[in-house]
Amino acid sequence: MYNNYPVINISEKQKKNIELYNTAVREGRYRLEEIPCNLCGSKIRKILFKNDRYGINQGTVICMKCGLVYSSPRLTADSTEKFYRSDEYRNIYEGESTEKIFLNRYNDAISYKFNTFNPYKFRDLMFIDFLNEAGIDFNSLCEIGAGGGTNLIPFKKMGKEVAGFDYSKKMVSLGKKKGINIFKGTIEDINKSYDMIILIHVLEHFLDPVEQIKKLSSYNTKYLFIEIPGIVNQVPSLQNAHLYYFSINTLFRCTAMAGFRVIDYRTIDTNDYIMALFEKNSNSVYDYNFTDEIKHVLGVVRRFKIRNSIKNIIKSVPFGCKILDKLKGFSKKDKVKNF
């Protein structure tokens, strides 16, 4: 039980799609594979969790040589592509209709206004504030894993040349209907260079992050922007489609190995998201203390497991859920006061 990740409340529709996924794995329509560490090649790892937040059985491990956290076993390359192209993963994760989610994101993007970047409070599209404050010069931008392309709208309003690529036929179709320059495909389908390429909650889905960023470099003349759910001070939400859980150190090591140097970065206090801007630099090197990294990550995981065990104990007593709600309220007040 100690290695079980807590399962969230999900809808009946999500439960049905999870069962479809599990059946596909059992019957061999989705195949799993064990993999070594993407950063150092080591096969020495420690199991952190045995399932994701939906209850899907997939291991999350830490490399005991360099500290990278990743999923193993995981879907093979062919099964991963089949999973994304089916839209099954959106039905599992989002719970609502694809059309409704797209429309909400579209409306947010259309009405977006610049704000001062605030690392203590996350909001959708705040990465645009981050890039705006970076003061960099770029005229064209491409997003990989763009969904329906709503992230591109504010940049188009700025007068930038924009393009997006995504596996989902449905999302691409919705974007095209709104006049967004979005195409069905991924890195291999890019046919020109762009000043900047952005990956918004996409890097953690790559089968081979180092090699796939290297491929992106062929179409990237200046900058790379990445936003990911990090493992900095808390354990991120585990999903079977998230194959990697980067810390600041492992992210910067990954991008340096692929030929990019970090310019600036921020972490978001409320959810541990990492936002980082990189520039092309073939001589980029990033080293860190592997032992300290492993200790830090294991400490974050240990605190998470202890807190979760305490929550389960409280839930088991009368009025336990009400007690937890009050404790959450106190925690929110403390954060407001400290800010």
Tokens 């936003």 label which residue?
227
For range 211-236, the mean pLDDT: 94
Confidence of residue 319 (pLDDT cuts 50, 70, 90): low
- Beta bridge partners, 162, equal 141
pTM value is: 0.88
In contact, 148 and 182? CB cutoff 8 Å: yes
Per-residue pLDDT at 313: 79
For range 89-98, the mean pLDDT: 70
Q: What percent of the chain is modeled with pLDDT above 70?
A: 91
- With DSSP H G I counted as helix, E B as strand and the rest as coil, what are the percentages for the chain, rounded to 5? 40, 20, 40
First to last CA, the chain: 36
Compute the distance between CA of residue 187 and CA of residue 200 in angstroms, rounded to an integer.
14
Residues 29-68: tens digit of each pLDDT: 899 999 999 999 999 999 999 999 988 888 999 999 999 9
For range 125-141, the mean pLDDT: 93
Per-residue pLDDT at 182: 96
Per-residue pLDDT at 339: 26
Q: Examine the pLDDT at 261 and tell me if it is beyond 70.
A: yes
Residues 6+ apart with CB under 8 A from 327: none
Confidence of residue 2 (pLDDT cuts 50, 70, 90): low
Per-residue pLDDT at 255: 97
Compute the distance between CA of residue 265 and CA of residue 117 in angstroms, rounded to an integer.
12
